[in-house]
C-alpha cells in the first residue's frame, strides 16, 4: 500500500521500499514548526529527514521496512496535529517489460557466403632496359587497376577509389565508378616511369 499525506509544507508518499517528498520548506523550517515531533523521532529518522527536505525540490530515497514504519509513524504524528488525513492506495503493479521482437534483416539476393561480391585487384609488370654493364638504364611499370562485380543479380553503385603514395604514377588521386552490372569488369591502365636513381639493384 502507498500512504499519502498532503501537508501545507510538503507532499509525502511512502511506498513499501521508498519515500518521495515534494517539499515547500527546508529542514530547519520543518524542525522549527514541528519541534516536538522531530524531537521524538529516532536518530535514524533524524538522519534521513534533512536530505528529504530541500525547499521546492522533490526527493526520492530508498528505505527498509523498519525505516518505512518509523516514517509512517512520524508523519502520522504531524498529520494528527494539522488535521490531515492519510490516504492509502494500492501500490501500482510494475508494468511488464516489453521486449521488442527482433526482426531479421532480409538477406541480400547475392548473400550466402558472407563475402564481398566485388573484387578489386592491381596487376603490375616491369619493363626495363639495361646498359652494357648490366645496370638498368630505363624502366617502366605498366599497371592495371580492375574492379569486378562478382554478383549474379545485384548492381553495385557509387564505387570510390582513392590512391596515395604513387606520385610518379599517372593515376588520379580519386576515381569514381558510377555503377557496375553483375559480372561486369571495370579497368584503368596506368604507368610508372622509373629513373636510374629509383631502379632496383
Convert the pLDDT of each residue in 133-152 to its tens digit.
767 777 788 888 898 988 88
What pLDDT, on a 0 to 100 scale, did the predictor assign at position 167? 64
What pLDDT, on a 0 to 100 scale, did the predictor assign at position 112? 46
Q: Are 163 and 132 in contact (CB under 8 A)?
A: no
**pTM confidence score:** 0.45
What pLDDT, on a 0 to 100 scale, did the predictor assign at position 186? 87
| Segments of the chain scoring below 50 in pLDDT | 102-113, 201
Amino acid at each position: 500500500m502507498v500512504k499519502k499525506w498532503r501537508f501545507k509544507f510538503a507532499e509525502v508518499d511512502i511506498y513499501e521500499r521508498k519515500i518521495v517528498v515534494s517539499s515547500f520548506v527546508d529542514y530547519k523550517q520543518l524542525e522549527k514548526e514541528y519541534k516536538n515531533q522531530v524531537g521524538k523521532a529516532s536518530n535514524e529518522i533524524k538522519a534521513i529527514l534533512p536530505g528529504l527536505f530541500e525547499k521546492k525540490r522533490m526527493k526520492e530515497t530508498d528505505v527498509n521496512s523498519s525505516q518505512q514504519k518509523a516514517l509512517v509513524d512520524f508523519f502520522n504524528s504531524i498529520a494528527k496535529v494539522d488535521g490531515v488525513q492519510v490516504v492509502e492506495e494500492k501500490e501500482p503493479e510494475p508494468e511488464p517489460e516489453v521486449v521488442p521482437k527482433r526482426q531479421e534483416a532480409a538477406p541480400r539476393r547475392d548473400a550466402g557466403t558472407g563475402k564481398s561480391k566485388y573484387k578489386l585487384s592491381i596487376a603490375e609488370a616491369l619493363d626495363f632496359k639495361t646498359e652494357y654493364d648490366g645496370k638498368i638504364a630505363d624502366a617502366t611499370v605498366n599497371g592495371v587497376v580492375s574492379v569486378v562485380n562478382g554478383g549474379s543479380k545485384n548492381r553495385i553503385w557509387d564505387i570510390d577509389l582513392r590512391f596515395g603514395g604513387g606520385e610518379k604514377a599517372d593515376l588520379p588521386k580519386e576515381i569514381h565508378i558510377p555503377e557496375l552490372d553483375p559480372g561486369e569488369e571495370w579497368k584503368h591502365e596506368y604507368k610508372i616511369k622509373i629513373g636510374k636513381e629509383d631502379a632496383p639493384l
